[in-house]
Structure 1
């Protein structure tokens, strides 16, 4: 097995991208858009140290591991903290050794938090596995909405009732699955920033590189990767929006937000329902809701995948230090998320912090940049 490394800041050659796409097409577990070369090269445009390890057999590229590396040789999955799916993407039947890959990349450690379950060579380095809900859709079929209405008649009836009320109070409700107006993307970022601050979470859109990455992915229109912005309108007013990447068959739920003025209508839930229905009509077979315990995910999901987090490492002082630093933080977070008795007070505390921030007024640089 020959392993070479390629920087991602300048993109990839056409033959390498085609080989990567072929590996995605041949294995359903690698169909997620976060595993596409377009996502990796997008991150590489705005993050130093972004690279991809290319595995070759007989000179032919058969596997791809995108990663970020710091000057000390500590590595992490590409877009860690943003990506909801991570893997060494390879063609069926390819065998590889995790430590051999790390050695070839010059990495002492490789951190991941949404690794697909099929990555057996990383198995002994996994520190925990978690449910990642998905919605199975039949492309071109209305079967999922019908299933949802029969499985959860009360919630479905309530949501439809609120949608009718929204139409009556504000204006006709309409949904655009693939909205190309960049102003609506800015609106979504603004809503999401406000939500992050209101709930005491880190505002991702206060980081310019994330804003730049989302702007870039919005413009990508490729067969294996497209940035999809969906918007729910009432009359001429945008009420809720979602932006996420899609591959040929999978749409990833990524950033969803709504105008808080309309919160009593449950616009976020309307958004997810409309997105699932429209995605099926547009050829998507799986809507990936991402790791995390949320009530709306329990309602919408048809099944769950498993994703893993952990640290693949080689004996090295940097690897030991990195694990000592990162593992307790992860453990505390996972303990809180796994226990409602801890999670609910933590949410209340974060919201209190968010309210205090809001009372101080907006901070400089807290929102997305203006056009």
Structure 2
């Protein structure tokens, strides 16, 4: 980042009109900032509800060079509105290299955790993992998009979903895509997602009020080019799949899906995604983003796009000591070391998610207890390892005050 650089922590609402205009200018000129998560309207909505919300205004020789929205959990910095925010990073001109380690130090933090960082920082941190954003290209229309799936080797899977649609229609009548702006529909979807997270042993990100408030606030924004969209797939007047998405300009981000398990054999979630893509193409959306990570189900719909990073930057010697211990154990006892490293990484991610959702120490401790209980039931053989890992990880990762 160099000399002559200053970092100031500000409330998002305190950004001046000139700074807001500069934000828009940076975003418009930088293709990496295409996602709705970089839209200032999303940042403003998140900052109103997310505890510890702020934005780093980064100046070089007194001129604003970049912005970095974040939320603070004691000595830990996270993306603003984590764990809901899938992409984040510096709002800066393309090619600008900002040393995030210096930003972390000037903000008085010990660690900055990222899981969808758009590359462009001078310091990636240690062991950052690169994953592609998965993008569906709708710029030439839906028929051309389907041809693209054929070229990507996905045509057999696409035809399988088309058969599912025919079977669903034969058994229950035509499927219909609708869009809803009803807050009750959104709440029902969030309740369904909560049931799914509890059933699969994940931390319930909607157990804390601010995460639900964010989605409701985004739904309330009435703008043709921005805001929350709720897509529903219905047959016989019954909703069999639903998904929350986020729109900004010509980009749509698929966010939270649920489906009726009674209709699982028809792949209702996939059918909804295809119907949504078709509708988006008709509405002029050029790109639909399925989030980072090239999982097999995403490859059905999308192709790898820009690379994003998962990892952290830390300036805390305790965290360095914990990780050094894991590495040394791996060198001396590879099988034990690999198991310990796997457990540690799993706990680290879970604790980061808990810290993001639960800003108070009391809330974090309660969530950790529930989380360990769920993990213990699902993986009884890992119980002792998880307990030992939590003793290590919790000291440096969760109790950040």
Give the TM-score normalised by structure 2. 0.73
Equivalent pairs counted in the alignment come to 337
| 2:203 match: secondary structure | coil
For structure 1, which segment, 235-244 or 192-201, has the greater mean C-alpha deviation from structure 2 after superposition? 192-201
8 A Cα contact 2:32 2:306, kept in partner: no
Q: Which residue of 2 aligns with 1:136?
A: 137
**Which of 61, 65, 70 lines up with 2:68 in the alignment?**
65
Q: Which residue of 2 aligns with 1:49?
A: 52
Q: Which residue of 1 aligns with 2:312?
A: 311
Q: Does 1:239 align with 2:243?
A: no
| 1:142 match: secondary structure | helix
- What pairs with 1:157-236 in structure 2 (closer than 5 Å)? 157-176=159-178, 178-222=179-223, 225-236=226-237
In 2: Cα distance, 1:254 partner to 1:42 partner: 16
Give 1:310 shift. 2.0
In 2: Cα distance, 1:320 partner to 1:15 partner: 40
Q: Which residue of 2 aligns with 1:81?
A: 83
Distance of aligned partners of 1:104 and 1:332 in 2 relative to their CA distance in 1, 3 Å threshold: closer
Give 1:35 shift. 2.1
Q: Which residue of 1 aligns with 2:10?
A: 6
8 A Cα contact 2:294 2:304, kept in partner: no
Give 1:325 shift. 11
| 1:192 match: secondary structure | helix
- What pairs with 1:282-297 in structure 2 (closer than 5 Å)? 282-292=283-293, 294-297=295-298
Q: Which residue of 2 aligns with 1:105?
A: 107
C-alpha RMSD over aligned residues? 3.4
Distance of aligned partners of 1:153 and 1:69 in 2 relative to their CA distance in 1, 3 Å threshold: closer
Distance of aligned partners of 1:187 and 1:139 in 2 relative to their CA distance in 1, 3 Å threshold: farther
Distance of aligned partners of 1:19 and 1:221 in 2 relative to their CA distance in 1, 3 Å threshold: farther
Structure 1: 5+ residue runs without aligned partners? 337-348, 355-371
8 A Cα contact 1:197 1:203, kept in partner: yes
Give 1:59 shift. 5.5
Q: Which residue of 1 aligns with 2:24?
A: 21
Distance of aligned partners of 1:221 and 1:90 in 2 relative to their CA distance in 1, 3 Å threshold: farther
Structure 2: 5+ residue runs without aligned partners? 327-339, 350-373, 380-401
Distance of aligned partners of 1:237 and 1:324 in 2 relative to their CA distance in 1, 3 Å threshold: farther
Distance of aligned partners of 1:295 and 1:103 in 2 relative to their CA distance in 1, 3 Å threshold: closer
1:268-294: CA deviation from partner (whole Å, max 9, x where unpaired):
110111122222222322222123453
Distance of aligned partners of 1:80 and 1:167 in 2 relative to their CA distance in 1, 3 Å threshold: same
8 A Cα contact 2:97 2:120, kept in partner: no
| 2:85 match: secondary structure | coil
| 2:197 match: secondary structure | helix
Greater share of helix residues, 1 or 2?
2
In 2: Cα distance, 1:277 partner to 1:66 partner: 33
Distance of aligned partners of 1:124 and 1:294 in 2 relative to their CA distance in 1, 3 Å threshold: closer
In 2: Cα distance, 1:334 partner to 1:139 partner: 43
Q: Which residue of 2 aligns with 1:271?
A: 272
Give 1:14 shift. 4.0
8 A Cα contact 1:21 1:224, kept in partner: no
In 1: Cα distance, 2:225 partner to 2:341 partner: 37
**Which of 31, 35, 38 lines up with 1:32 in the alignment?**
35
8 A Cα contact 2:99 2:121, kept in partner: no
In 2: Cα distance, 1:334 partner to 1:307 partner: 22
Give 1:171 shift. 3.3
8 A Cα contact 2:135 2:303, kept in partner: yes
Give the TM-score normalised by structure 1. 0.78
8 A Cα contact 1:11 1:41, kept in partner: no
Distance of aligned partners of 1:239 and 1:192 in 2 relative to their CA distance in 1, 3 Å threshold: same
In 2: Cα distance, 1:278 partner to 1:320 partner: 49
